[in-house]
C-alpha cells in the first residue's frame, strides 16, 4: 500500500509544491502546499518537509472530482489542512476502493 512517504513532490511553476499519484484502481490523489493553498504554512517553500499540513483532492478514474465520494459530508472538492496521518488514512481508503 502506498503512503505519504511514496509521494514524489515537485516544485510548481506557480510556486509551492505538489504531488499526484495514480493508484492501481485508477483513482488519483493530489497533494499540494504553498501560498494560496490550504496548507501550513501558506508559503511557497520547496520541500514537503517544510509543511505540516497539505491541501488534498481525489479524482476518479474518468478524471471527475471524487473527494466527496470519500467524504460525503464535506462541502468542497478539496480538503484543506490535512496532516501526513490524515493523508495516509485517505490513501489507504482510496486504494481499497474498487
Report the distance separating Cα 29 and Cα 26, nearest Å. 10
7-27 pLDDT per residue, tens:
999 999 999 999 999 999 999
pLDDT of residue 98: 81
Residue 45 has pLDDT above 90, yes or no: yes
Q: Model pTM greater than 0.75?
A: yes
Task: Report the DSSP beta bridge partners of residue 33.
Answer: 17
**Between vectors from CA 68 to CA 22 and to CA 60, what angle results, nearest 5°?**
30
Query: What residues does each domain of the chain span?
Result: 4-95
pLDDT, average across residues 74-97: 96
Amino acid at each position: 500500500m502506498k503512503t505519504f512517504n511514496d509521494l514524489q513532490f515537485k516544485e510548481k511553476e506557480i510556486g509551492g509544491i505538489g504531488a499526484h499519484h495514480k493508484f492501481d484502481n485508477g483513482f488519483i490523489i493530489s497533494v499540494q502546499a504553498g501560498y494560496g493553498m490550504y496548507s501550513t504554512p501558506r508559503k511557497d517553500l520547496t520541500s514537503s518537509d517544510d509543511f505540516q499540513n497539505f491541501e488534498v483532492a481525489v479524482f476518479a478514474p474518468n478524471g471527475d472530482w471524487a473527494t466527496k465520494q470519500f467524504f460525503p459530508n464535506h462541502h468542497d472538492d478539496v480538503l484543506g489542512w490535512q496532516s501526513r496521518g490524515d493523508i495516509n488514512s485517505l490513501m489507504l481508503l482510496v486504494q481499497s476502493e474498487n
